[in-house]
Amino acid sequence: MKILVTGGAGFIGSHVVDIYIQHGHQVVIVDDLSTGRESNLNPAAAFYRLDIRDPALDDVFARERPDAVNHHAAQMDVRRSVAEPGFDADVNVLGSINLLECARRHKVRRLIYISTGGAVYGEPEYLPCDEAHPINPICPYGASKHTFEHYLYMYRQIYGLDYVVLRYPNVYGPRQDPNGEAGVVAIFTGQMLTGQPVVINGDGEQERDFVFVGDCARANLLALENPAASGIYNLGCGRGTTVNQIFKALKQAVGYDRQPSYGPPKAGETRRIFLNAGRIHADLGWAPSLELEDGIRQTVEYFRTAERAG
């Protein structure tokens, strides 16, 4: 099968590209490299440096004729979405509609869309959140990502386009960018390995659902290959881990000898969120396979070597 992967040079998207290629699929990557890295590109994949909002995206579809689309490309900075909600919607809604129209015109069979379980639900009414939980995002990022889920439903009703939505938890692991806006594991790891001070936003007791990137890539493979895959699925381990706990685990793995300092909380962030992944387990047999401590060790080793921290 030939799959077009948007954001395939990014942290998670590049792992998805790798697992698709490992399982014998052809892959076409579309990425503007605004946050992705050329070093993440799999040499076995075709690559187009292109923004998903660009009308030239249709030319890529006409040339490559993909069977399926995996849509990872996004504006994913919560703080930027609060500061620039118009930009966030331009990329995540209008850019995604441009992609969707290309998929419709060129008769793509299935579209796998990466949404966010950490931001669409808002402050949870109950935990862990399942897919039936009310949608009440408290940041523009969560609102824009959820908006496109409605477009997918409409396009299935009108045009018969098959789709799968994967609502991600907090994903961590090798290739995550430790600079700027990134997951807390990558940021803390980069700071610890270079002997910098670590600042925790808020009191550190905010809880998140952390899943290793390899497990998320495997869910994308199941969503592609399993004909039973349909509709919306949460990914997650079903339990919360605090930022303070992440700091302690990383401190031990790195051998860091400093204590954190605490700063103001980030606007638009949910206090406690973890996800019920029972539906994808029942339909596709997916569950996280790597415990947090093992995943952190693998992540730290990657940053020690590949990133050459320090």
SS3 content of the chain, % helix, strand, coil (to 5): 40, 20, 40
Name residue, tokens 């669409």.
120
Phi, psi of 210 (to 5 degrees): -100, 125
Residue 141 annotated among the catalytic residues of the structure: yes
Under DSSP, the state recorded for 41 is -
Given 48, 113, 121, 141, which residue is catalytic?
Answer: 141
Cα-based distances in Å from 152 to 88, 147, 169, 277: 19, 9, 21, 21
- From CA 166, how far away is CA 176, in angstroms rounded? 19
The answer to whether 152 touches 214, Cβ cutoff 8 Å, is: no
Query: Which residue from 137, 169, 171 is spatially nearest to 268, judged by alpha carbons?
Result: 137
Token duo for residue 70: 């995996």
Name residue, tokens 């899943």.
211
The CA R_g of the chain, rounded to the nearest whole Å, is 19
Name residue, tokens 């008769």.
107
Q: Give catalytic residue positions.
A: 141
